[in-house]
C-alpha cells in the first residue's frame, strides 16, 4: 500500500485549467472557489471563516453572530470540494473529517442519508419541531333537540353556579313547531336530568334546587336567556340525560346548556324511549308498518327523514375517533430511536432559512438491521406533528439506501344500493 | 470438517489496512480497495462522493465500506489488518503543521512557475496569430509594419504576464490522512458473538471459499446475494436467507413466501442454517418448485 499521491504543481495547474483529467478519485479545486472553515472541537461544528459558492441559502446557522456548519453539512461540502476545514491551520483530509465529525453509529447513518438526498438536489435541514399548534377548534354545535317550553321547578342561583344534585327539568311541548329541527316525532314533554358529579370525598351528591326556567316560554327565549342564567360548572356535571325522541344524532355537546364552552368532551346521552300519545305517533301506530312501531324496540331512523343510503350511513356513523387503546405491546421501548432526523424540501421549492415553512417530507433514519417501528410509536409520533407531511423511513443498508413511506390510508366506502 | 469460528491473531505485516468504524471497516487507500475487490473477491460498497461526479447516486467513491462478514473473511485469510487510529482526532502538532505549510508553499510556488511557463508556451504557439493581429492594426492606424518584429512582440507579451494569484492556486483535498500517527491494531475484535452472527459469517465464508462473489441482500429481503462472477457482469444467482431455526420448522406460508421471493426475480433462495447434529456446521438448502405432474 502506498500513500496517496501528492500531485505535482505542474499537474495541479494542468488539472485546474482542465487540460488534464486527473484520476477520478483525486480532488483538485481552485482555492478561490472553496469556502473556509475551522473545526470547533467543543461544539463539534465548523466555524465558517469564508463563505463562497451557492450552498449557503440552505446550510449554515448562526451562533453568537458567527456562521457555523453542522457536521453533516461540513462533511458533504468537503467531499464535493466546496469547503476546506482547517484544524490548526492544516486542511482536513476526508478520512480525518469522517473520523472526527461522525462520532457514533447513528451519525454515520444520518450522514449517508443526508449525502444521498442532497446529491439528488433536495434541501435538507435538521428536523425542526413545529410550535405547538392551537387546540383544534370544535366542530359546529349541532342544533339540540330539546328546548324548555315551560318550567316547573324553581332554580337556585348559587355563587359558584354549580349544581349539586340532580335537577329535573320537565318540559311540556305544546306545539311541534317550537321544537328545533331534527326532533321527530314530537313528544309532549322532555325530561332533562342534570346529573352532577359528587364533590371530592363524598360518595353521594348532595341535594339542591334545580334550575329555574319559569320565565322561559319558548326555545328562542331560552337561547336569549341562558347567559343570564349563568353557566353550569361543567366539570362538576357528570352527565346530562335528556329523555326524548329524536331522528337526528344522539350526542349533543355540553355547551348547549352553558354559554361558556368547556374543553371537556362529555356528551349528553340521549336515551330513546317510547313515544307519547301524539298525533304522529298515532299515525305510525295505525299505519301499514305499525308492527315496527309497537313494542319496546323501534327503528332508530324513520324512513321519511333520510333520502339516501349514504345519508343513513352518515347518521349512524360511529364518531370518528382514533383508537386510544394503550396496548403495551404496540409501544416501542426505544421510542428514542424513532426521532425524526431531517426535514426535506424539494429542489424546486423556494426555501428560506429564516422561515422554512412546512417541509415536503420528513425522514427518520434507521439501519437495515433494526426493526420496523411499532404502530403505536408511529401513531403518537404522527399525532405530535399534527400535519399531513409524509413521513419516510430512510433505511440504510451496506450497499444502498431505501426510502419507505408509512402512511395512513383510508378504505373507500362502497355503496352499491341506494 | 472442523470449521474455525475464531479469527487468527492479526498479522501486522498484512498488506491491506482497514480502519475500524463502528463494527464495520473502511478502506481509504485506492490501491488497497482495488486489491481487495479484484484479488480477493471481497466487494464491499463505496459510500463516498465521487469527486468527478458528485451530483448523482449511481456511482460512489472512496471510502470502501466493508461489512462484518467481509472483514471476517479478510482477517481469516490474513490479507488485512484492522486498525484504530488513535491520533486521527488530534490536532496536528506544530511540526506537522509546519511541514504541511511548507508543502503548500512549495506547491504554490511550483504552480506559479508552472502556470508562467504554461502561458509562455501558449504565447509561443499563438505568436503568428498575435503578429497578424498587430500588423492589421498597424495598417489601419498607419504605423509601419516593419516596426512590428517578432522578438519584441514576444517580449512585450511576456512582460504583460501576471503571476498566479493565490485564489487561483489549485488545492488537493486528500482522501487519506497523511499523518495516521499511532495506529493500534484492534486486538480481539469481538465478532461473531451471537448465534445469528456466527451463522451469517460462516455462511458467507463458505460461499466465498467456493469462488462466488457475494454482496448484501437488502434489496431482495435476504442476507446475501451470490453471483457467479463480478456483479457488474452477472445477475445474482442465489439469495441467501439465514435461518435461526431449522427449515422444517418453517410454516408452509413462510416457505411459500421464500419461494416466491426467488421465482419472481429468477433467483434461487438458499436457506442457511446450523446443522442440528453438529454444532457450528452450516448447511444449505435451496427452495425450488418441483415440476410435478399433479394436475
What CATH number did the domain enclosing A364 receive? Answer: 3.40.1350.10
* Residue-wise pLDDT tens digits, B49-69: 988 888 899 889 899 999 999
Nearest to A193 by CA among A226, A168, A212, A216: A168
Q: Do A94 and B173 touch (CB under 8 A)?
A: yes
Which chain B residues touch A94 with a CB distance below 8 Å?
28, 48, 62-63, 173-176
Span B230-238, average pLDDT: 90
Nearest to A149 by CA among A176, A183, A182: A176
Predicted pLDDT of residue A245: 38
Q: What is the spatial order of strands in the sheet that B213-216 belongs to?
A: B213-216, B224-227, B236-242, B268-274, B282-287
Q: Do B110 and A8 touch (CB under 8 A)?
A: yes
- Is residue A142 situated within a structural domain? no
Low-confidence ranges of chain A (pLDDT < 50): 1, 132-198, 201-220, 230-278, 321, 324-325, 334
Which chain B residues touch A91 with a CB distance below 8 Å?
171, 173
**Residue A18 and residue A97 share a domain:** yes
**Residue A36 and residue A124 share a domain:** no
Query: Cα–Cα distance between B225 and B206 in angstroms, integer?
Result: 14
Host domain of residue A64: 1-23+31-103
| CA–CA distances in Å: residue A163 to residues A260, B255, B292 | 15, 67, 81
- Is residue A224 situated within a structural domain? no
Burial (Cβ within 10 Å: 0-12, 13-18, ≥19) of residue A303: exposed
**Residue A96 and residue A115 share a domain:** no
**Residue A376 and residue A395 share a domain:** yes
Q: Do A29 and B118 touch (CB under 8 A)?
A: no
**Residue A397 and residue A352 share a domain:** yes
Of residues B56, B91, B92, nearest to A119 (C-beta): B56
| Number of domains, chain A | 2
Chain B interface includes A367 (CB < 8 A): no
**Residue A80 and residue A9 share a domain:** yes
- Is residue A239 situated within a structural domain? no
- Is residue A18 situated within a structural domain? yes
Out of A120-129, A209-218, B91-100, B122-131, which region has the weakest mean confidence (pLDDT)? A209-218
Record the pTM: 0.70
| CA–CA distances in Å: residue B282 to residues A369, B197, B262, B271, B274 | 22, 12, 21, 10, 5
Q: How many Cα atoms sit within 13 Å of A360 on the Cβ side?
A: 11
Look up residue A92 and give its three cell numbers.
482536513
Q: Which of residues 214-273 of B touch A (CB under 8 A)?
A: 215-216, 218-219
**C-beta atoms surrounding B72 within 10 Å:** 23
Contact criterion met (CB below 8 Å) for A91 and A84: yes
Q: Give how far the C-alpha of residue B99 lies from the chain's centroid of Cα atoms, to the nearest Å.
A: 29
Q: Which of residues 1-30 of A touch B (CB under 8 A)?
A: 1-4, 6-10, 12-17, 23-30
Which chain B residues touch A395 with a CB distance below 8 Å?
218
A-B C-beta contacts closer than 8 Å? 191
Query: Cα–Cα distance between A29 and A81 in angstroms, integer?
Result: 7
ipTM over 0.90: no
- Is residue A362 situated within a structural domain? yes
- Is residue A267 situated within a structural domain? no
* Residue-wise pLDDT tens digits, B188-210: 788 888 999 999 999 999 999 99
Q: Which helix (H) or strand (E) holds A361?
A: strand A361-367
* Residue A80 belongs to domain with CATH number: 3.40.1170.20
Predicted pLDDT of residue A17: 76
**Residue A86 and residue A36 share a domain:** yes
Distance between A30 CA and the closest CA of chain B, angstroms: 4
Look up residue A19 and give its three cell numbers.
487540460
- Is residue A181 situated within a structural domain? no
Place of cell 512582440: B153
**Residue A86 and residue A75 share a domain:** yes
Q: Higher confidence at residue B275 or residue B7?
A: B275
DSSP character at residue A214: T
- Is residue A288 situated within a structural domain? no
Looking at A53, A85, A103, the residue that finishes a domain is A103
Which chain A residues touch B56 with a CB distance below 8 Å?
119-120
* Residue-wise pLDDT tens digits, A111-165: 999 999 999 999 999 998 765 433 333 333 332 333 333 233 333 333 333 333 3
* β-pair partners for A271: A243
Mutate to test the interface with B, among A99, A107, A117 (most CBs of B within 10 A): A99
Span B170-184, average pLDDT: 80
Predicted pLDDT of residue A3: 60
Cis peptide before B192 (omega within 30 of 0): yes
Amino acid at each position: 500500500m502506498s500513500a496517496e499521491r501528492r500531485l505535482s504543481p505542474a499537474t495541479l495547474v494542468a488539472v485546474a485549467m482542465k487540460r488534464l483529467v486527473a484520476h477520478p478519485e483525486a480532488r483538485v479545486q481552485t482555492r478561490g472557489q472553496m469556502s473556509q472553515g475551522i473545526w470547533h472541537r467543543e461544539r463539534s461544528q465548523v466555524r465558517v471563516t469564508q463563505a463562497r459558492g451557492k450552498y449557503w441559502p440552505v446550510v449554515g446557522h448562526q451562533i453568537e453572530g458567527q456562521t457555523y456548519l453542522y457536521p453533516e453539512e461540513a462533511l458533504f461540502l468537503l467531499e464535493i470540494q466546496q469547503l476546506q476545514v482547517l484544524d490548526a491551520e492544516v486542511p482536513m483530509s476526508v478520512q480525518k473529517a469522517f473520523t472526527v465529525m461522525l462520532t457514533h453509529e447513528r451519525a454515520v447513518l444520518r450522514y449517508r442519508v443526508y449525502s444521498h438526498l442532497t446529491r439528488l438536489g433536495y434541501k435538507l435541514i435538521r428536523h425542526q419541531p413545529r410550535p405547538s399548534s392551537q387546540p383544534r377548534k370544535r366542530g359546529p354545535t349541532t342544533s339540540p333537540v330539546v328546548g324548555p317550553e315551560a318550567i316547573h321547578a324553581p332554580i337556585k342561583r348559587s355563587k359558584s353556579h354549580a349544581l349539586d344534585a340532580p335537577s329535573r327539568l320537565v318540559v311540556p311541548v305544546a306545539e311541534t313547531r317550537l321544537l328545533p329541527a331534527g326532533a321527530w316525532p314530537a313528544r309532549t314533554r322532555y325530561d332533562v336530568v342534570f346529573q352532577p358529579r359528587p364533590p371530592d370525598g363524598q360518595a353521594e351528591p348532595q341535594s339542591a334546587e334545580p334550575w329555574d326556567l319559569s320565565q322561559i316560554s319558548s326555545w328562542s327565549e331560552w337561547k336569549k336567556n341562558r347567559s343570564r342564567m349563568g353557566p353550569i360548572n361543567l366539570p362538576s356535571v357528570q352527565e346530562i340525560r335528556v329523555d326524548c325522541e329524536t331522528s337526528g344524532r344522539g350526542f349533543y355537546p355540553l355547551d348547549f346548556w352553558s354559554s361558556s364552552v368547556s374543553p371537556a368532551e362529555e356528551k349528553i346521552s340521549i336515551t330513546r324511549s317510547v313515544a307519547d300519545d301524539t298525533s304522529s305517533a298515532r299515525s305510525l301506530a295505525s299505519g301499514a308498518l305499525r308492527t315496527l312501531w309497537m313494542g319496546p324496540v323501534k327503528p332508530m331512523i324513520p324512513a321519511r327523514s333520510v333520502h339516501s343510503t349514504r345519508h343513513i350511513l352518515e347518521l349512524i356513523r360511529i364518531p370518528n375517533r382514533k383508537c386510544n387503546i394503550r396496548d403495551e405491546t404496540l409501544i416501542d421501548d426505544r421510542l428514542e430511536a424513532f426521532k425524526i432526523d431531517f426535514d426535506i424540501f424539494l429542489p424546486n421549492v423556494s426555501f428560506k432559512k429564516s422561515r422554512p415553512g412546512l417541509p415536503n417530507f420528513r425522514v427518520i433514519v434507521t439501519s437495515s438491521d433494526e426493526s420496523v417501528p411499532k404502530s403505536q410509536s408511529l401513531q403518537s409520533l404522527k399525532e405530535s406533528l399534527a400535519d399531513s407531511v409524509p413521513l419516510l423511513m430512510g433505511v440504510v443498508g451496506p450497499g444502498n439506501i431505501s426510502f419507505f413511506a408509512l402512511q395512513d390510508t383510508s378504505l373507500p366506502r362502497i355503496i352499491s344500493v341506494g | 470438517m472442523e470449521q474455525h469460528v475464531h479469527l487468527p491473531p492479526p498479522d501486522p505485516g498484512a498488506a491491506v489496512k482497514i480502519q475500524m468504524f463502528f463494527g464495520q471497516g473502511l478502506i481509504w487507500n485506492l490501491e488497497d480497495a482495488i486489491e481487495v475487490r479484484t484479488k480477493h473477491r471481497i466487494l464491499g460498497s463505496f459510500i463516498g462522493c465521487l469527486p468527478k461526479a458528485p451530483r448523482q447516486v449511481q456511482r460512489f467513491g472512496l471510502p470502501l465500506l466493508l461489512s462484518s462478514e467481509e472483514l471476517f473473511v479478510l482477517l481469516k485469510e490474513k490479507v488485512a489488518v484492522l486498525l484504530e487510529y488513535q491520533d486521527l482526532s488530534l490536532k496536528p502538532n506544530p511540526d506537522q503543521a509546519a511541514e504541511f505549510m511548507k508543502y503548500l508553499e512549495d506547491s504554490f510556488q511550483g504552480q506559479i512557475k508552472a502556470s508562467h511557463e504554461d502561458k509562455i508556451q501558449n504565447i509561443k504557439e499563438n505568436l503568428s496569430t498575435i503578429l497578424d493581429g498587430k500588423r492589421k492594426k498597424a495598417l489601419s492606424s498607419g504605423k509601419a509594419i516593419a516596426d512590428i518584429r517578432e522578438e519584441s512582440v514576444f517580449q512585450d507579451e511576456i512582460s504583460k504576464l501576471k503571476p498566479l494569484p493565490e485564489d487561483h492556486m489549485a488545492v488537493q483535498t486528500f482522501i487519506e490522512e497523511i499523518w495516521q500517527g499511532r495506529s493500534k491494531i484492534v486486538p480481539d475484535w469481538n465478532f461473531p458473538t451471537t448465534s445469528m452472527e456466527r451463522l451469517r459469517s460462516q455462511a458467507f465464508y463458505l460461499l466465498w471459499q467456493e469462488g462466488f462473489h457475494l454482496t448484501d441482500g437488502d434489496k431482495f429481503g435476504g442476507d446475501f446475494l451470490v453471483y457467479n462472477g463480478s456483479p457488474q457482469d452477472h445477475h445474482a444467482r442465489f439469495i441467501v436467507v439465514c435461518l435461526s431455526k431449522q427449515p422444517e420448522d418453517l410454516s408452509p406460508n413462510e416457505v411459500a413466501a421464500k419461494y416466491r421471493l426467488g421465482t419472481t426475480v429468477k433467483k434461487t433462495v438458499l436457506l442457511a442454517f446450523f446443522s442440528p447434529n453438529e454444532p457450528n456446521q452450516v448447511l444449505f438448502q435451496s427452495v425450488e418448485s418441483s415440476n410435478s405432474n399433479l394436475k
